[in-house]
Amino acid sequence: MRLQRAWYQSRAPLWLWLLWPLQLLFVALSGLRRLRFRYFPAKPLPVPVIVVGNISVGGTGKTPVTLALVDYLKAQGERPGIISRGYGGRGPFPYSVTAQSDAQRCGDEPLLLARRTQVPMVVAPDRYQAALWLLQQAPSTTVIISDDGLQHYALPRQFEIAVIDGQRGVGNGWRLPMGPLREAPARLQSVDAVITNGKLNNSLPCAVQPYQMVLQAQRWRRLSDDMPVDKLPEGKTLVVAGIGHPERFFATVGTLEKRDFTTRAFADHHAFSDADYAAVSNYDVVLMTEKDATKWRGNPAQACYYLPVKAQLPEAFWQQLQQALRNARYDA
């Protein structure tokens, strides 16, 4: 987390330059890997593939975009399925995710997606293998959404979406591990759509005009039974967040709840331990993100609630997506 804070400082600390040789190695290896799949592309899949990814590590808002895509496609009569790497899950892979799955096997974000969408979902580090398994398990699937995978060039795709945190942008502009970038900012010139999570603070080298996404908070839900509530109970309150940009969630809670609360940030995809639960045992109310709720196994006597969010995207984005799907099927 200290490294991530350094990536987004206006003036980089001197110790960050010690990582320069590793950045050069990362750039070389990732470039060779991309060239490999450019000259030896994977065999196309029988249905269109939409990739939702980013060029930086950490949370940018891919999951809400994926949820919005599923809702839209279902409303258009499509039968979407989702694939993902399953980060943090131990498999075995490929693994079909359901609402009853364990986050330790499939990862926290895939479990969230499976619970919210109720569509076929498969996770595997090899996204092409995941797509084949999905089509085998759900042959009526008409379109596949890859949650993350912009850099997974072994997966053919017809529509690429890059999601950018509007507040943090591309950070210091350096590649891993000196900076947060998996690919150079120029990669944004080759994607089909760029979505910014919130208002963009700095310009981006995009070939297309970015679409701005607005995240709308829904009603708090009680963790014990997933039921929405109109009002949270009173008491000593802690807000926890194990996501890529926890400060964004803390700010959201501050606008929703007029109460004093303590915050505690964890690393993205953090696996909560008994020590974590013991450290928060003296709080009456614990608030968290929906992703953290898939893994929370704390004291059942505590009042625990999570906050679902919903992405709002401009109509122009949906029109572009619909046209891209028509073109993909026509070309096929």
Residue 258 confidence (pLDDT) = 93
Q: Give the CA-trace dihedral at 121, 126, 127, 128, to 10 degrees.
A: -110
Tell me if 196 is assigned to a ligand binding site.
Answer: no
The reply to whether 86 falls in a domain is yes
Same domain membership, residue 170 and residue 123: yes
Confidence at 301, pLDDT banded by 50, 70, 90: confident
Question: Which CATH number characterizes residue 262's domain?
Answer: 3.40.50
pLDDT in tens, 192-227: 999 999 988 877 878 778 999 999 999 999 999 999
The reply to whether 1 falls in a domain is no
Tell me if 84 is assigned to a ligand binding site.
Answer: no
Tell me if 62 is assigned to a ligand binding site.
Answer: yes
Tell me if 58 is assigned to a ligand binding site.
Answer: yes
Give the Cα-Cα-Cα angle 220, 223, 233 (nearest 5 degrees). Answer: 55
Residue 246 confidence (pLDDT) = 92
Same domain membership, residue 237 and residue 135: no
The reply to whether 231 falls in a domain is yes
Same domain membership, residue 248 and residue 176: no
Same domain membership, residue 43 and residue 164: yes
Alpha carbons 82 and 328: distance in angstroms, whole number: 18
The reply to whether 292 falls in a domain is yes
The reply to whether 3 falls in a domain is no
List the domain range (segments joined by +) for residue 272. Answer: 220-307
Residue 211 confidence (pLDDT) = 96
Same domain membership, residue 188 and residue 43: yes
Same domain membership, residue 297 and residue 177: no
What type of residue sits at position 287?
Answer: L
Same domain membership, residue 285 and residue 162: no
Among residues 46, 284, 67, which one has the least CA distance to residue 195?
67
Average pLDDT, the chain: 93
Tell me if 57 is assigned to a ligand binding site.
Answer: yes
What type of residue sits at position 245?
Answer: H
Domain count, the chain: 2
CB neighbours of residue 284 within 10 Å: 13
Same domain membership, residue 250 and residue 148: no
Same domain membership, residue 174 and residue 82: yes
Tell me if 123 is assigned to a ligand binding site.
Answer: no
Same domain membership, residue 192 and residue 229: no
Among residues 13, 143, 173, which one has the least CA distance to residue 83?
143
DSSP string of 67-105? HHHHHHHHHTT--EEEEE--TT----SSEE--TT--HHH
pLDDT in tens, 250-264: 999 999 999 999 999
Tokens 């890859």, residue? 146
The reply to whether 124 falls in a domain is yes
Counted residue by residue, the chain has a size of 332
pLDDT in tens, 85-123: 998 899 999 999 999 999 999 999 999 999 999 999 999
Residue 307 confidence (pLDDT) = 98
Same domain membership, residue 177 and residue 130: yes
Average pLDDT value for residue range 141-159: 95
Same domain membership, residue 303 and residue 254: yes
Residue 80 confidence (pLDDT) = 98
Which residues, in sequence order, are CB contacts of 268 under 8 Å at separation 6+?
A: 58, 59, 242, 243, 244
The pTM of the full predicted model, rounded to 2 decimals, is 0.94
The reply to whether 26 falls in a domain is no
Token representation of residue 13: 């600390």
The reply to whether 93 falls in a domain is yes
